[in-house]
Amino acid sequence: MLEIYEGALKVNEILAKWYEEYKDKNYGAFINFIGIVRDENGIEGLSFDIYEPLLKNWFQKWIERAKEENAVVLMAHSKGDVFLHQSSYVSAVLSPKRKVALRLINEFVEDFKASAPIWKYDLKDGKRIYAEDRSLILPNSGILSMDE
Amino acid sequence: MVKVEFLGPIGREPMEVNINNLKELKDIFKDDEKLQEWLKISAVAVNDELVNSSDVSLKEGDRVSILPPVCGG
């Protein structure tokens, strides 16, 4: 399940909904990760752009990968502005036993950081500034550059 | 026509071009210095699938997306 929301996530509602949906499906472990916007570098918050078609394709591959281990991946992300101490990202893995979910949540979040087509901006002094220094170059980048 | 869209912080309007492959698109962009800075660090998707070289044919109605470095979460 992939959910995109405008602005900050209502974390309690999202996790409660997921829990209610899966609690009687015989998964013994439900591990979640919640990203909270930190007060650092004088920012007022963060802002996000998402390219949803590619995000859906990426997430679909994760659904299939998790299914091979009888696990389920869930994710919610914000687009637009999210302010300090609000949340922009919640993900979760359910599996019959804890070890698979604990491993997969780590692998999922790492791959999310490296691959998900989402762009982050700092909100600072009324401006929206691309977080270039924290962004990761996707594989096979540069193929349309004259340097290639 | 092939639609080209520039995602995230590149901040350009989409364009439509009459091309048969990605190499022709590369040629169209070759003198655009500002865009070249983005292209050096950007990945490319055709119809929402990332591609690994510019040796890709295109047909009428295809969509090319330019993806600069990402940072979700």
DSSP A58-84: HHHHHHHHHHTTT-EEEEEEEEEEEET
Per-residue pLDDT of chain B (73 residues; tens, 9 = 90+): 999 999 999 999 999 999 999 999 999 999 999 999 999 999 999 999 999 999 999 999 999 999 999 999 9
* Residue A79 touches partner B, C-beta closer than 8 Å: no
Under CATH, which number does the domain B2-67 receive? 3.10.20.30
ipTM summary value: 0.95
- Which CATH number, 3.30.70.1710, 3.90.1170.40, 3.60.60.10, 3.50.50.60, labels domain A2-125? 3.90.1170.40
B30: DSSP letter: T
Does A120 contact B72 at a Cβ distance shorter than 8 Å?
yes
With H, G, I as helix, E, B as strand and everything else as coil, classify residue A88. Answer: strand
By Cβ distance, the residue of B8, B25, B50 closest to A144 is B25
Domain ranges of chain A: 2-125
Instruction: Give the model's confidence band at A147: pLDDT under 50 very low, under 70 low, under 90 confident, else very high.
Output: confident
* Residue B14 touches partner A, C-beta closer than 8 Å: no
Does A54 contact B45 at a Cβ distance shorter than 8 Å?
yes
pLDDT tens per residue, range A16-34: 999 999 999 999 999 999 9
